């Protein structure tokens, strides 16, 4: 997904909150949005989620299913937890039985079982936040946007947030999260977007960092998931090639996709050893899968 030259202000003659923002995030990647209070983090997340429309510029390739968790869950709605979540599940495109099943799963995971029949306005802030998390996860989002997700949550639920993020990333989704409490140290692999003066700057890894290249053989059918997981942990995936199970490092392997390397041919058809197509969709157009020469072979 890309934000291209995005401008936004809340009133016709008001100050611009976002001014020509250009950022992108790939499948299986997370980005933490940082900046001082009032700088525009929530505004940026809402544009990314499609809650706010930019005055100028555009958001391209936003995944079809977006999970949006606002900083403050709007609990002033006259529904019980289970009615609200069931309705949200159906709005997300689940059938009634699927929605019921999903509600059961997330109510349990988030420790909401005893609140099922409680009306939203009667919930504490932390419990309402959990309902906010649950509604975003009922149908696995391709983009999960979390505005200060740790705010108001109890210790157990705070532990769960990185777990949910990992699950979305592991399925090839993208995650954006803002945080002013430093909790995002729990997301060591995330990219870091610093918001200041209406613009967003990506903070890169320290240039002096020494790296090593590790070659790993995985079943071809699991390539997409493994690549997404590696990226979610902050590793750069330099390329993927096919090999044989007997001799994975042998010379017979064809290059299936080298996402950013010189001569990369993302359109080249690739098939797993058993003839099934290899899902390389996650391996193209990834800005973070970069310069293979950055890896040092020792
Ligand atoms: N609905 C609104 N109407 C008018 N101005 C708004 C609105 N929402 C936000 N703003 C203003 O836009 C600017 C950016 O706000 P935003 O909430 O995006 O910042 P933030 O970085 O998320 O802040 P915080 O860390 O306090 O949540 C602020 O000056 C804020 O007052």
Q: At what angle do helices 125-137 and 81-91 cross, to 10 degrees?
A: 30
Q: Is 46 near ligand 1, meaning CB less than 6 Å away?
A: no
Higher-confidence position of 58 and 298? 58
211 CA → ligand 1 middle, Å: 39
Minimum CA distance residue for ligand 1 atom 16: 40
Assess whether the C-beta atom of 78 lies below 6 angstroms from ligand 1. no
Pocket of ligand 1 contains residue 43 by CB under 6 Å: yes
- Average confidence (pLDDT) over 174-189: 79
* pLDDT for 181 beyond 80: no
Look at residue 215 in the predicted model and tell me its pLDDT. 85
> pTM value?
0.73
Model confidence over 34-60: pLDDT tens digits?
A: 988 899 999 999 999 999 999 999 999
Question: Which among 134, 182, 186, 129 has a CA at the least distance from the CA of 162?
Answer: 186
CB 37 less than 6 A from any atom of ligand 1: yes
Q: Check pocket membership of 194 for ligand 1, CB cut-off 6 A.
A: no
Q: What is the ipTM of this complex?
A: 0.97
Task: Residue 243: name the closest of 265, 262, 216, 269 by CA.
Answer: 216
pLDDT value at residue 189: 80
The answer, yes or no, to whether residue 296 has pLDDT greater than 50, is no
Please report which confidence band the pLDDT of residue 253 belongs to, taking 50, 70 and 90 as the band edges: very low
Average predicted confidence (pLDDT) for the chain:
81
Domain 2-65+140-203 is of which CATH architecture? 3-Layer(aba) Sandwich (3.40)
Q: Which residues contact 198 (CB under 8 A, 6 or more apart)?
A: 16, 17, 18, 19, 20, 21, 40
Q: What is the pLDDT of residue 151?
A: 83
At residue 180 the predicted structure's pLDDT band, cuts being 50, 70 and 90, is: confident
Task: Tell me the pLDDT band of 250, cut-offs 50, 70 and 90.
Answer: low
35 lines ligand 1 (CB under 6 A): yes
Pocket of ligand 1 contains residue 17 by CB under 6 Å? yes
The verdict on the CB of residue 9 being under 6 Å from ligand 1 is no
Of 2, 60, 49, which Cα lies nearest the Cα of 287? 2
Which residue has its alpha carbon closest to ligand 1 atom 10? 10
From the CA of 9, how far away is ligand 1's center (Å)?
A: 10
Report which ligand 1 atom has the smallest distance to the Cα of 71. Answer: 27
**Separation between Cα atoms, residue 34 and residue 2, nearest integer Å:** 18
Structural tokens at position 156: 């157990």
Across the range 106-121, mean pLDDT stands at 96
Supply the pLDDT for residue 273.
Answer: 37
Whether residue 292 is predicted with pLDDT greater than 90 in this model: the reply is no
Given a cut of 90, whether residue 154 has pLDDT beyond it is no
The finding on whether 198 has its CB within 6 A of some atom of ligand 1 is no
Query: How far apart (Å, rounded) are the C-alpha atoms in residues 150 and 136?
Result: 15
Give the residue extent of every domain in the chain: 2-65+140-203, 77-129, 211-298
pLDDT at 201: 93
The average pLDDT across 167-177 equals 94
What is the mean predicted confidence (pLDDT) over 105-130?
A: 95
Residue minimizing CA distance to atom 18 of ligand 1: 40
> Cα separation of 248 and 216, whole Å?
9
More confident of the two residues 111 and 211: 111
């Amino acid at each position: 997904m890309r934000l291209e030259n995005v401008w936004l202000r809340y009133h016709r003659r008001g100050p611009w909150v976002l001014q020509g923002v250009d950022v992108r995030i790939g499948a299986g990647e997370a980005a933490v949005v940082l900046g001082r209070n009032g700088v525009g983090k929530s505004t940026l997340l809402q544009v990314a989620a499609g809650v706010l429309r930019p005055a100028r510029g555009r958001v391209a390739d936003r995944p079809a299913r977006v999970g949006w968790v606002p900083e403050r869950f709007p609990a002033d709605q006259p529904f019980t937890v289970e009615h609200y979540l069931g309705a949200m599940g159906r709005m997300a495109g689940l059938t009634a039985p699927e929605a019921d099943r999903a509600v059961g799963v997330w109510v349990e995971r988030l420790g909401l079982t005893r609140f099922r029949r409680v009306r939203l306005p009667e919930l504490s802030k932390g419990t309402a936040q959990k309902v906010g998390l649950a509604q975003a996860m009922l149908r696995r989002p391709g983009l999960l946007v979390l505005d200060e997700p740790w705010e108001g949550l109890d210790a157990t639920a705070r532990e769960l947030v990185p777990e949910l993020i990992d699950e979305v990333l592991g399925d090839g989704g993208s995650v954006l999260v803002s945080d002013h409490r430093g909790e995002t140290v729990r997301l060591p692999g995330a990219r870091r977007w610093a918001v200041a003066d209406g613009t967003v700057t990506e903070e890169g890894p320290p240039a002096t960092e020494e790296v090593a290249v590790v070659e790993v053989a995985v079943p071809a059918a699991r390539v997409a998931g493994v690549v997404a997981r590696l990226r979610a942990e902050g590793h750069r995936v330099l390329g993927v090639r096919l090999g044989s199970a007997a001799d994975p490092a042998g010379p017979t392997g064809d290059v299936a996709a080298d996402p950013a390397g010189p001569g990369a041919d993302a359109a080249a058809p690739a098939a797993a050893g058993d003839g099934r197509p290899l899902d390389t969709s996650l391996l193209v157009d990834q800005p973070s899968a970069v310069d293979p020469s950055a890896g040092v072979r020792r």
